Structure 1
Amino acid sequence: MEININAKSTEGIVKQLQQAIGGTITERWGEYTLTVANPIANGNIRFMAFDWGINLLEYDITFFEEVTLIMDTSEYNPIHFTYCLEGFCRHRFGYQSEEEIRTLEQFQSVIITSRHGGYNYGYFPKDIKLAINVIQINRKAFLKKRLSAVDALNKKLYEVFVDEDHENVYAHYGSYDLKLADKIGALRKVRTKGMVRIMQVEGLVYEILSLHIFQHNKAVNNTMPETSLLRRELKIVRKLANQIANNVSKDYSLEKLSRESGLSQAKLQEGFKLLYTRTVTEYIRHARLEEARDYIRNTDMSISEVVYTIGFSSRSYFSKIFKRKYGISPSEFQQNVMVPLEI
C-alpha cells in the first residue's frame, strides 16, 4: 500500500494518513490522536505542536499490510529526530535506489532531513507492532527562538539547522541508545491532564531532543563507547533495569542477576555502564534512593519504615548515602516536605 503525503504541517500529515487508512481523529488539550481499528491497521498515531516550530509525532500502531509513505518535501520539510522503541522501519531518499534503503532498528535513532522538492520514502512492515517517536523541527521557526543557541551544536548538525532553504539532504543513523528508550517510555506514561500534561510532555520532548543531539555529538567526536553486546543482550539489560526499578526491595546481587538473565557478570557490568553509566550495584542503590525519596515526599511513612520498604537493613547507612546523593539528610528532607506553604 502506497500513501502519498504532500501536507504543509504535521497535522496535515495525520489527516492524509486518516484518508488512506481510515480511523477517527480526536483532540484533547491540544493533543490530536488518530485511532484506527480496521483491516488495514490497528492502533493510534498522535501529534502535538509546540512553540518555535517543534512538533511531536508518535506511532503506536500495527499495519496489516506493508505500507510505503511517499512524502513530498516541497511544502513541509522539517528535521526529523526519530527513535524506534518497538519494531523497525526503513527509509530512503527519493534520489536513492531501493538497494540503498536503510533500516532503523529497535532502540536506534536517526536524524533525517531532505532537500526542498525531494522525497522521503518510509517503509513500514506488515504485522509488526511499531512504536516510533518523531520530533520534527521547522528550522525557520526554531531559529527565531533566542535560546535555541544552535551555534553550540557540532559543525555537521549546525549546518543542518541553519539550512533554511533546505538545499541539502542529511541522514545520521545512531547507535543503540536505551536512555532514549527510557525517556520516551516516560513520555508515553504521562497521565496528567490539561495544562500540566502539556508542560510535562513538552519538557520531555526537549529532553529527548537533547539526548538525540548529545548522541550525535559523541558520534561526530568519536567518543561513542564501544561495546561487544548484541541488541538482544541490551534488551535483557534494559529488562533487568526496569525490573529493579519496579521492585527495589528485592535482594539483588550481580551473581543472581547473571544467573537469572543468562548473561555473564562482565556483560551485565558492561551493559549497565553503557546504558546507565553505573555499575549494577550503583544502579540498584540509585533506584532504591529514588524510591525512598518518593516515599518520604508522598507518604506518611517514618524513615525506618522507608528503609525497610526499599530493601536496606541499616538506617545509618541509608542516611549516609541519601545525604551524599541529595545533599540533605532523610529527616531534614522529610521536615522540609511537611512544612506547610505560607500564603
Structure 2
Amino acid sequence: MRKFKVKVSNSLDMLKRLAVETDSLINEDYGSAVMIWNKALGDGISRAFEILPGLSVIIYDVELKEDFLFTKDESIANTLYLMYCLEGNVLHKFGNEKIYESVNEKQNVFLQGEKHRSNDVLIPAKSRVKLSVIYIVESLLETHRDFKGGYLSSGLQELFNFIGTDRPYRYFGPLNSKIAHFAKQLYVGKNIDFVNRLLMEASVLQLLANQISSLQSPKSESIVGEKLSTKELKRVLDLSNHIVNNLDKNYSILHYTKYAGISAAKVQAGFKHYFNETINTFTRNARMAKTKELIETTNLNFSEISYLVGISSRSYFSKEFQNYYGVTPTKYRKSIENIKPHFELSYHSVANSGNTDEDVRNILISSKENNTNRNITGCLINYNDSFFQILEGSKNDILSLMKKIKSDDRHSDLEIIWSGFRSHRSFHNFSMAYINNDEVRTISDRNKAIDTDVLDIIKTHQRKTIPVSRFWEQVKNQLMVHMESVAS
C-alpha cells in the first residue's frame, strides 16, 4: 500500500505535494493545475481548481496499481469536505477508527474532522475511480466574505453552522443521479485552459448546490438525458473556446451558429448542458473571470482591461464588476494583498554563451541590493547554460523588476513558467538563493544555507525527457515543497 500524508487545506497545494511524492508531471496555471499520474503507479490524471480562497476542488480520474492511502492532518484549519464518487468506490475512516466506511458510486458524502484526528481516504487498486472532493475552509471564508457579493461565502458559513464545528461529522447520503449529471462535467476536459476553468467553476458550483440540497432534503433524483450528439457537444466546446479567445469582440448569435454549424436552439442547449447558463451569461461570466485574472496578474489599468474584455465603457465596466463580485475593481485590486499578500513569478531563459563568472557575480550582487530594498526574496538557478528564477514579493515590485530582467542581454528566450498570488513565501529567509552546477549557496544577510539536496532535485529531473518549460515547472514544484519542509 502506498501512503501519502498531507497537512495543507488547499487543493492546489495538495496536488503539488502529491506530484512531488509520486514523481508525477504537474502543469500549473492561474488558479488551477493538472497532474498526470506516474505510469509506474497507475493510469490517469488529477486536477485541482480554486474558485475563491476557502473554496477549491480536487478531482481524481485514475486507476492505480496498488492501494493508495491519503491521510489528511486536520490540525491547521477547520475544513469541510464534500465528496462524490462518480465511478468506482473509495473508503473512509477517521484516524482513530479501525474500520473503513465505503463511499459508493454516485453517493453524496460530507466529512469534517477535528484537530486531533486525521481523515483517511483509501483509493483501492485495479479499479477505475472518478472522485471529486470539494474543500471548504471556514477560516479563509471569513477573510473573503465581501467577494462575489458575499452570498457564496456567507451561504457556506451557514453550512458550517448547520453541521457544527465542535465535533467530527460524516454524512453518507443516498444515491443521487442528478448530482451525477453535474459531476461528470468535471471530467470533460483534460487541460487547464480558460474555458476549462469556466467549465470547472460552473460545474463545481452546481455540484456544490445540489450536494447541499441533498443534505437538507435527502432523496434520490434523476435528470433528463442530453439531446445533443457527441459531435454537436464537441462543437459547443469549440465555440466556447472561440468566445473566450475573442472577448474583445461582440459577436451576434448568428455568428455563433455559423461558427458552430448548429442551430441557435442547440447552441443554447449545449451551453445549458456544459455551463448551466445561456451563451450570453457565459460570455458575461467569461469577461468577468478574465477581468479578475488580469487584475491579479498584471498592472494594466482598468481602461486597458475593459478594452481587452470587450467592454467599451469604463463606467459600465466598473458597474459590471461590482455587480458580479460585490466590490469595485479598485477595491478588489487593493484587497488582494490582504487576502494573498505575496506575488510569485518564475521564469526560464537561455544563458548567453559569452557570460563569465564575473557576469554571474554581478547578477548576484545586483540581486542582493535590489531585492533587499524591495523586500523581494527567491532563488536563482544557473544550470547547464540555463537561468531559472523564482521571485517573491509585491506584485508591483516583481513586475517592475521583470521589465529590467527582460531587457538584460546576458540571457535570451525568456519564458514565464508561472505567476500569481501565494499566501506565504517559500524563500522568506533568502534575499536570493543561488544554485549552479557545482554549488548551492545563498546571497543573504541571514546566515542560513539551502540544503544541498536541492541540486540533486535538479539533476534527477534533468534525466527526464520532457519539454524545457515542463522540466523547470517540475523543478519549481520540487524546490518549493522542499523549502517548505525545511522551514517546518
Structure 1 and Structure 2 fold alike (TM over 0.5):
yes
Deviation (angstroms), 1:75:
2.3
Task: Return the alpha-carbon distance in structure 2 between the equivalents of residues 151 and 9 of structure 1.
Answer: 16
Task: Return the alpha-carbon distance in structure 1 between the equivalents of residues 88 and 262 of structure 2.
Answer: 43
Corresponding letter in the other structure for 1:159: F
> 1:119 maps to what in 2?
118
Deviation (angstroms), 1:194:
4.6
Give runs of aligned pairs for residues 250-261 of structure 1, distance below 5 A: none
Is the Cα–Cα contact under 8 Å of residues 10 and 55 in structure 1 kept in the other structure? yes
> 1:42 maps to what in 2?
43
Task: Return the alpha-carbon distance in structure 2 between the equivalents of residues 6 and 300 of structure 1.
Answer: 48
Q: Which residue of 159, 162, 168 maps to 1:159?
A: 162
CA pair 28-139 structure 1, distance change in 2 beyond 3 A? same
SS in 2 for 1:128: coil
Is the Cα–Cα contact under 8 Å of residues 31 and 51 in structure 2 kept in the other structure? no
Deviation (angstroms), 1:200:
3.4
Alignment of 1:147 with 2:148, yes or no, is no
> 2:180 maps to what in 1?
181
Task: Return the alpha-carbon distance in structure 1 between the equivalents of residues 156 and 113 of structure 2.
Answer: 21
CA pair 301-173 structure 1, distance change in 2 beyond 3 A? closer
The number of equivalent residue pairs is: 241
Is the Cα–Cα contact under 8 Å of residues 71 and 121 in structure 2 kept in the other structure? yes
The Cα offsets for residues 256-282 of structure 1, whole Å up to 9 and x where unpaired, read as: xxxxxxxxxxxxxxxxxxxxxxxxxxx
Is the Cα–Cα contact under 8 Å of residues 34 and 191 in structure 2 kept in the other structure? no
> 1:246 maps to what in 2?
229
Give runs of aligned pairs for residues 1-343 of structure 1, distance below 5 A: 1=1, 2-98=3-99, 101-143=100-142, 144-145=144-145, 146-148=150-152, 149-150=154-155, 158-160=161-163, 163=165, 167-189=166-188, 194-219=193-218, 224=219, 241=225, 246=229, 299=261
Deviation (angstroms), 1:177:
1.0
Task: Return the alpha-carbon distance in structure 1 between the equivalents of residues 97 and 21 of structure 2.
Answer: 25
SS in 2 for 1:202: helix
CA pair 114-214 structure 1, distance change in 2 beyond 3 A? same
> 1:278 maps to what in 2?
none
SS in 2 for 1:48: strand
Corresponding letter in the other structure for 1:246: S
Deviation (angstroms), 1:186:
2.1
Is the Cα–Cα contact under 8 Å of residues 141 and 157 in structure 2 kept in the other structure? no
Gaps of at least 5 residues in structure 2 are 231-255, 267-277, 279-311, 313-488
Is the Cα–Cα contact under 8 Å of residues 54 and 140 in structure 2 kept in the other structure? yes
RMSD of aligned residue pairs (Cα, Å): 3.7
Corresponding letter in the other structure for 1:60: D
Task: Return the alpha-carbon distance in structure 2 between the equivalents of residues 302 and 39 of structure 1.
Answer: 47
Task: Return the alpha-carbon distance in structure 2 between the equivalents of residues 153 and 68 of structure 1.
Answer: 31
Is the Cα–Cα contact under 8 Å of residues 115 and 168 in structure 1 kept in the other structure? yes
CA pair 23-190 structure 1, distance change in 2 beyond 3 A? closer
CA pair 97-200 structure 1, distance change in 2 beyond 3 A? same
Is the Cα–Cα contact under 8 Å of residues 10 and 56 in structure 2 kept in the other structure? no
Report the more deviating stretch, 210-219 or 140-149: 140-149
> 1:234 maps to what in 2?
none
Give the TM-score normalised by structure 1. Answer: 0.60
Is the Cα–Cα contact under 8 Å of residues 73 and 116 in structure 1 kept in the other structure? yes
CA pair 202-96 structure 1, distance change in 2 beyond 3 A? same
Report the more deviating stretch, 40-49 or 82-91: 40-49
Task: Return the alpha-carbon distance in structure 1 between the equivalents of residues 131 and 156 of structure 2.
Answer: 29
Deviation (angstroms), 1:34:
1.4
Task: Return the alpha-carbon distance in structure 2 between the equivalents of residues 181 and 128 of structure 1.
Answer: 19
CA pair 134-299 structure 1, distance change in 2 beyond 3 A? same
Task: Return the alpha-carbon distance in structure 2 between the equivalents of residues 299 and 123 of structure 1.
Answer: 45
> 2:446 maps to what in 1?
none
> 2:309 maps to what in 1?
none
SS in 2 for 1:168: coil
The Cα offsets for residues 278-301 of structure 1, whole Å up to 9 and x where unpaired, read as: xxxxxxxxxxxxxxxx97996576
Deviation (angstroms), 1:189:
2.2
CA pair 11-196 structure 1, distance change in 2 beyond 3 A? closer
> 1:331 maps to what in 2?
none
CA pair 301-89 structure 1, distance change in 2 beyond 3 A? closer
The Cα offsets for residues 232-276 of structure 1, whole Å up to 9 and x where unpaired, read as: xxxxx98x935x6538xxxxxxxxxxxxxxxxxxxxxxxxxxxxx
CA pair 18-179 structure 1, distance change in 2 beyond 3 A? same
Gaps of at least 5 residues in structure 1 are 228-236, 248-293, 307-325, 327-342
Structure 1 outlier segments of 4+, above 3 Å: 148-154, 190-197, 244-247, 294-303
SS in 1 for 2:111: strand
SS in 1 for 2:211: helix
Q: Percent of pairs identical after alignment? A: 17
SS in 2 for 1:182: helix
Task: Return the alpha-carbon distance in structure 1 between the equivalents of residues 264 and 208 of structure 2.
Answer: 39
Is the Cα–Cα contact under 8 Å of residues 7 and 16 in structure 1 kept in the other structure? no
Deviation (angstroms), 1:79:
0.8
Task: Return the alpha-carbon distance in structure 1 between the equivalents of residues 167 and 48 of structure 2.
Answer: 26
> 1:334 maps to what in 2?
none
Corresponding letter in the other structure for 1:138: V
